[in-house]
Amino acid sequence: MDRSRRSVLRASGVALAGGLAGCLGDVRSQLAGGGGTDDEELTLESLAVGGSPGGELAVNPSGEATLVDFFATWCQPCKPQMEGLGTVREQYPDLAMRSITNETDRDAVRDFWREYDGTWPVLIDPKAEAQQAYRPPGMPTLFVYDADGEEVWRHTGLARTERIAEAVATAQS
């Protein structure tokens, strides 16, 4: 194999690895652990789109079972995850659901929310406050909390709808 083909293959491998790692997030977050926060009063701005009301909302409101979803519009597994989250929303309409992105392009987030039929609050986290507090190891990452704020389940990657619903049922019992 000549030098130019090797360099192209090497560059392609680096690009592929970088693309696959994109949804996995920052390695430092994975090594740091985490996945919960003592700051239950963290509030973020929600966008007024679909079922999202606009205004400030608590990420993990006290006294309520809550599902927190970390996502990104560019994340491929986040797209099909929206359908499963929509199903859970239909099954548990009183569940406090929050989807959080640290993207700053509000129009892109609104377009994503419309395209994938988001019917719950979508929160914007441009300063990555929730990212720092919850430390999701990748996208998508789901956390489910009971009414006492205790984490009952977490999952990184595409989660089965049935499994999400089971976690929510546990949190509400």
Q: pTM for this one?
A: 0.78
CA angle at residue 153 from 47 to 29, to 5 degrees?
70
Q: Hey, is 37 helix, strand or coil?
A: coil
Cβ-based burial of 64 (10 A; exposed 0-12, middle 13-18, buried ≥19): middle
- Residue 31 has φ and ψ, to the nearest 5°, of -75, -30
| Angle between the N-to-C axes of helices 161-172 and 78-91, in degrees from 0 to 180, rounded to the nearest 10 | 40
Q: What is the DSSP-derived secondary structure letter of residue 50?
A: T
13: Cβ contacts below 8 Å, ≥ 6 apart: none
Check whether domain 27-172 has CATH 1.10.287.1260, yes or no: no
pLDDT in tens, the chain (173 residues): 444 443 333 443 433 333 333 454 432 233 233 444 444 489 999 999 988 999 999 999 999 999 999 999 999 999 999 999 999 999 999 999 999 999 999 999 999 999 999 999 999 999 999 999 999 999 999 999 999 999 999 999 999 999 999 999 999 99
Question: What is the C-alpha to C-alpha distance for residues 23 and 39, in angstroms, rounded to an integer?
Answer: 25
